[in-house]
Amino acid sequence: MKRPQKIRKQRDTILILTNGRTEKNYFEAISTGYSSMYKIEVKSLNAECDKLVNYAINLDRSKYNQIWCVFDIDNSLEENHLIFALKLAKDNNINIAYSNEAFEVWLLYHIFEKVPSALTRKAYIKEINKHLESIGSSKYQKNDVELLKKIFLPKLLVATENSKKVHQKFEAEYQKLNSGNKGYPVW
């Protein structure tokens, strides 16, 4: 009698499009460092956030269960790229995740529950380096995938919880100021 064969379930495929080197390294480290129920593909493009979303829209989307565009805001808000990108993404079922100023803010949430919001990118990196020095680790380099895997990825759930707390506080304050209008959630 023939043994019943296990049918292997196809994993959902997530595409992450980013315009930053650190983000690309981070998500690639996640995709190779964790066994996951998802297959994660990461592509990096040198493009503004709205161009990233346009690229996502023009892909063969049947290959992916989810598509995410991940980017730093930087000057996008001043140039209206962000507002257009958010609307375009929403209209086309593209997910968005962005860090206000720098991806390093997200890395700090792996370490601290509260992250100062009015710092420059250099100041965020200085904060990361102070922590790394305190634990005897090497300095932060954007292209150091091993540092991401060793120091930051083990605290991924901590970072998620810390950023959710900050978002909930922001959302409550925003609703007080804007008569209950909801903000765009990111963490």
| pTM, 2 dp | 0.74
Cβ proximity of 67 and 41 under 8 Å: no
Name the band, by pLDDT with cuts 50, 70 and 90, for residue 172.
confident
**Distance from C-alpha of 103 to C-alpha of 98, rounded to nearest angstrom:** 8
**Distance from C-alpha of 15 to C-alpha of 42, rounded to nearest angstrom:** 6
User: Domain map of the chain by residue range?
Assistant: 10-100, 102-179
Higher pLDDT, 138 or 37: 138
User: Judging by beta carbons within 10 Å of its beta carbon (0-12, 13-18, 19+), is residue 158 exposed, middle or buried?
Assistant: middle
Please give the mean pLDDT across all residues of the chain: 85
pLDDT tens digit sequence for 125-143 = 999 999 999 999 999 998 8
Name the band, by pLDDT with cuts 50, 70 and 90, for residue 86.
very high
Residue 20 clears pLDDT 80, i.e. is over it: yes
- Annotation: CATH topology of 10-100: Rossmann fold (3.40.50)
